[in-house]
């Protein structure tokens, strides 16, 4: 019954449209119909309708806009809104990087400190020496890969720690091969720790790598029965997060960490 009514209504609308188009030559009826339609839709917040009205009111312009243009504008508006939202999300994500990547420091008494935070900008040696003096651990291992020809920063960090008062017997430099991601070297480090009979380790890493390290590294250590905590030098965090979005090397480190973190998920050898 209702369908029949609708069909009748549609037929009547079609006739009215033809009248509006001037197909029948009875323009007066079409105008009346349009006015009635306008009244009916006045309260609707339809973009196409308001656009049509706007055009109809502007002097010297044709009365109607083709539906395809109206549809295209509607889609363009939607696309613009989506793009703006996406850009806002990207900006928010960028400025949230320090909060997302830096985990709370977790210092636990251990058998050994694994010192990974060896970089031109790091001041972690002093922090590691301080932890040693506070008897947080009995041994320190400086872990590094080659940065230039036969040049391992860990060797120099060891010398520096000795200069800071740590006995030479308690500091070891561990050289690792260059690998595409940290996870490839982790089994070697676990083996090294186990071979010395250490059951607890404290890893000192760079602040921006701390959350990822705290998520990834325990998986490798704990399945071999070695407990591990991840921390970083507070001075490094302070320096890294100060005015970071305006400093090239700081932004580069945060963005690099996000890239590493993301890429590692896609490659089985790095997970």
* Contact residues: other proteins, CB under 8 A: 118-120, 122-123, 125, 145-151, 153, 156-157, 159-160, 178, 180-181, 246-249, 251-252, 255-256, 259-260, 263-264, 266-267, 269-270
Closest CB to other proteins among residues 204, 226: 204
154 neighbors 128 (Cβ within 8 angstroms): no
> What minimum distance in Å lies between the beta carbon of 68 and other proteins?
13
Question: How are beta strands 171-176 and 227-231 bridged, if at all?
Answer: unpaired
DSSP assigned state of 268:
G
> What minimum distance in Å lies between the beta carbon of 237 and other proteins?
17
Closest CB to other proteins among residues 138, 242: 242
Instruction: Say what the alpha-carbon torsion angle 69, 75, 77, 79 is, to the nearest 10 degrees.
Output: -140
> What minimum distance in Å lies between the beta carbon of 261 and other proteins?
11
DSSP assigned state of 168:
G
> What minimum distance in Å lies between the beta carbon of 128 and other proteins?
13
Q: What angle do CA 151, 186, 235 make, to 5 degrees?
A: 65
> How many Å is the maximal CA-CA distance in the chain?
106
Q: Which two tokens stand for residue 39?
A: 């009244």
Closest CB to other proteins among residues 148, 195: 148
> What minimum distance in Å lies between the beta carbon of 39 and other proteins?
32
Closest CB to other proteins among residues 39, 150: 150
> What minimum distance in Å lies between the beta carbon of 202 and other proteins?
21
What residues have CB less than 8 Å from 206, skipping those under 6 apart?
116, 117, 119, 122, 232, 236, 240, 253
270 neighbors 185 (Cβ within 8 angstroms): no
Closest CB to other proteins among residues 111, 179: 179
Overall residue count recorded for the chain in this entry: 271
Closest CB to other proteins among residues 118, 229: 118
């Amino acid at each position: 019954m209702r369908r029949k009514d609708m069909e009748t209504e549609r037929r009547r609308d079609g006739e009215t449209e033809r009248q509006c188009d001037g197909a029948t030559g009875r323009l007066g009826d079409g105008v009346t119909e349009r006015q009635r339609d306008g009244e009916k839709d006045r309260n609707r917040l339809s973009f196409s309708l308001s656009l049509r009205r706007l055009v109809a009111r502007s002097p010297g312009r044709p009365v109607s806009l083709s539906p395809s243009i109206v549809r295209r504008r509607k889609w363009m508006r939607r696309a613009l809104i989506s793009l703006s939202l996406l850009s806002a999300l990207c900006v928010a994500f960028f400025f949230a990087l320090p909060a997302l990547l830096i985990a709370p420091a977790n210092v636990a008494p251990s058998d050994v400190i694994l010192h990974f935070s060896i970089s031109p900008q790091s001041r972690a040696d002093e922090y590691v020496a301080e932890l040693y003096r506070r008897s947080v651990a009995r041994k320190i291992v400086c872990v590094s890969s080659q940065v230039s020809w036969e040049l391992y920063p860990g060797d120099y960090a060891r010398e520096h720690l000795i200069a800071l008062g740590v006995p030479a017997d308690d500091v070891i430099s561990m050289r690792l091969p260059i690998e595409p991601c940290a996870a490839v070297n982790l089994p070697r480090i676990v083996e090294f720790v186990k071979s010395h009979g250490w059951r607890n380790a404290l890893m000192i890493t760079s602040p921006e790598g701390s959350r990822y390290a705290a998520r990834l590294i325990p998986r490798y250590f704990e399945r071999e029965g070695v407990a591990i905590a991840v921390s970083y030098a507070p001075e490094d965090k302070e320096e890294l997060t100060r005015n970071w979005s305006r400093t090239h090397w700081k932004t580069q480190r945060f963005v690099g960490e996000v890239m590493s973190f993301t890429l590692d998920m896609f490659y089985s050898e790095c997970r």
